[in-house]
Amino acid sequence: MNSIIANSVRNSSIDETLGSISDAAIEASFGDSGTIIAKYFYGMSQTAKGKKVMTVEEFIESLNDSVRYAYDAISHPQEGTILTVMREWGSYLKRERNKHLTFDKLINASLHYAYEVLDKTKTLLKVLSEADVVDAGAKGFVCFIEGFYSFMTSGTLSDKNISRVERIDHEKISHSIKHLNFKFCTEMTVEGIGADVQNIERLVDGYGDSSIVNRYNDQIKIHVHTDRPHQLASELSEIGKITYSKVDNMKIQQDIVHNRKYKIALLTDTIADLPDEYIEENQIYTIPLIMIHNGSVYLDKYTTNATTIFNTLKQSSDYPKSSQPNEKFIEKSMKFLLEHYDEVIGITISSKMSGTYERMMQAAQKLSVDGKRIEIIDSSLNSGAEGLLAKHAMDMIKSGLDYDDIVDKLYKTKKDISIFVKIPDLNYAAKSGRVPKVAGMVAASLGIKPMISIDKDGNGTVLKEFNIKKLIIRMANERKIEEYVIVHTDNLQKAKELTEHAEKLLGFPPLYIESVSSIVSAFIGKGAYGIAFREAGNV
């Protein structure tokens, strides 16, 4: 609602005012309830088309007509949710209109009725009944009615919390694993789809549950709980352009809320290559960077992966571009963590390669709260090297080390981590700007398969040394390697060969073999493989 207030514009025409509110609601909609609210306001804007003003009767009729739009927003509508309160409130206004002398008295009476309906939602859904709480979306709509009545009687908007609705204790709602059929809450906005909405609904329904498909003019907004967001994105990009994506890992969110393991939260971006199982087991919150390709927007590791991007590149001459994470998503993620932790440590890709560090720093400063601490660390690394720093942070968190000590050690440890990657050629890296274009042209003309690394300042660099196996031999003789990982871009065979070589020299296996993020993969090309290791430091 705050986004709607901030981004909508009041006009002398009811048509334009409701149109502005509808646009703001659509833009800001998140989750089931947000989508339903957006569709509700969209319905109101449609009934107001061509009108400068509305009578009270027309306004009430508009509210009731909008309920149909709200129900149509959900593939499988359920009573006991926001939908129930919307329907009952509209029906009450229509039924009781002639019993009240003024509109404000009617709204006041309807508000008290809405409180009663809200309380009854506890009995309509099993999960709410078991937890003895009302539906959060339904509560939000009643708060909207409260605000509507307050504005009618005072003429002003107030930040003061005037709600009489009981505060929902989210800890009481046991969204345990048995209630979670799919892992990812996925939302996408797609433009240019000519197909009928029902065909898109059938497509989305096949990917999971809680599916919502709505058309707003030339846009289709999609919401679904699924385990395969990257496959859904791949299908949708074939029939339209994905202009917006958001994916939340509900399992990690759920575990943090109900089964939090550690007192300090770890936040990182998707450039840090860590196994999915490790991320979930340790409740690590990840922020996806954005990839833009052929006009569609993808979320690194969520709605695209290395295999998908290489298949796409085969069929297109358009070269993908990367972008910083969505600012609103960063803030939303940090707010969530600060609700459940007093201390958060964030580790980002090198600031010389991305603006992610700056964006996360800005969000952390904006959300600064007394008694809460967020430290955002520029790793000056990427890929498996950044993953090693994040893994080291988690090791210290698990050991119970003090927050300040962990932060201090991480700034020192990042200097002890290196990465070396053998790539097929420098064409991809040169196109991305990670290495000079001249270097790419020279390497290509000589048929050289170079090795790249990251210098002490966090910049990508091309090494004079080309033999990665000889480099490992030299490193094994000169340095004490504490732990290492093997990474690759769709080249598991070479990764396994390198693992065998490294294990023989170092005397112990890698922590893991991991496919590189889709963004880094696109920039260094298919077939790359490498090693990242952490030396034993003095911390």
Same domain, residue pair 200 and 115: no
Give the residue with greater pLDDT, 440 vs 397.
397
pLDDT of res. 151: 85
pLDDT of res. 23: 84
pLDDT at 140 over 60: yes
Residue 329 lies in a domain: no
pLDDT at 271 over 60: yes
pLDDT of res. 170: 41
Question: Distance between CA 333 and CA 348 in Å, rounded?
Answer: 15
Same domain, residue pair 166 and 183: no
Number of H helices, E strands in the chain: 22, 17
Same domain, residue pair 150 and 107: yes
Residue 157 lies in a domain: yes
pLDDT of res. 233: 95
Give the residue with greater pLDDT, 438 vs 236.
236
Strand 296-299's sheet: what is its strand order? Answer: 296-299, 290-293, 321-323
| pLDDT tens by residue, 345-366 | 999 999 999 999 999 999 999 9
Same domain, residue pair 470 and 513: yes
Closest CA to 241 of 194, 306, 181: 194
Domain that holds residue 495: 416-535
Same domain, residue pair 191 and 164: no
* CATH classification at residue 191: 3.30.70.3100
Residue 338 lies in a domain: no
pLDDT of res. 287: 97
Question: In this structure, are residues 433 and 354 in contact, taking their beta carbons and an 8 Å threshold?
Answer: no
Last residue of a domain, one of 141, 172, 203: 172
Residue 182 lies in a domain: yes
Which value, to the nearest 10 degrees, does the dihedral of the CA atoms of residues 452, 353, 285, 327 take? -160
Residue 307 lies in a domain: yes
Same domain, residue pair 180 and 301: yes
pLDDT band at 196 (very low <50, low <70, confident <90, very high): confident
Amino acid at 49: K
Same domain, residue pair 107 and 139: yes
Same domain, residue pair 43 and 166: yes
- Tell me how many domains the chain contains: 3
pLDDT of res. 252: 96
Residue 230 lies in a domain: yes
Same domain, residue pair 122 and 69: yes
pLDDT band at 418 (very low <50, low <70, confident <90, very high): very high
Question: In this structure, are residues 537 and 322 in contact, taking their beta carbons and an 8 Å threshold?
Answer: no
Closest CA to 122 of 131, 110, 114: 131
Last residue of a domain, one of 172, 188, 203: 172
Question: Distance between CA 149 and CA 110 in Å, rounded?
Answer: 10
Lowest mean pLDDT, pick from 173-182, 328-337, 481-490, 514-523: 173-182
Question: Distance between CA 486 and CA 419 in Å, rounded?
Answer: 10
Same domain, residue pair 117 and 163: yes
Same domain, residue pair 168 and 80: yes
pLDDT above 90: percentage of residues in the chain: 59
Residue 364 lies in a domain: no
Q: Over the range 72-92, which residues count as b (16 or more CB within 10 Å of their CB) and which as e?
A: bbbbeeeebbbbbbbbbbbbb
Question: Distance between CA 76 and CA 116 in Å, rounded?
Answer: 25
* CATH classification at residue 446: 3.30.1180.10
pLDDT band at 286 (very low <50, low <70, confident <90, very high): very high
Give the β-pairing of 321-323 and 460-462.
Answer: unpaired
Which value, to the nearest 10 degrees, does the dihedral of the CA atoms of residues 267, 269, 275, 280 take? 40
pLDDT above 70: percentage of residues in the chain: 87
Give the residue with greater pLDDT, 1 vs 516.
516
* Phi and psi torsions of 4, nearest 5°: -65, -45
Q: Cα separations (Å) of 366 from 284, 288, 289, 330, 334?
A: 22, 20, 20, 11, 10
| pLDDT tens by residue, 327-346 | 989 999 999 999 999 999 99
Burial class (CB in 10 A: 0-12, 13-18, 19+), 433: exposed
Q: What pTM, to 2 d.p., does this model score?
A: 0.79
Question: Distance between CA 420 and CA 453 in Å, rounded?
Answer: 5
Last residue of a domain, one of 145, 172, 199: 172
Mean local confidence (pLDDT), 476-495: 94
Residue 228 lies in a domain: yes
Same domain, residue pair 310 and 440: no
pLDDT of res. 435: 53
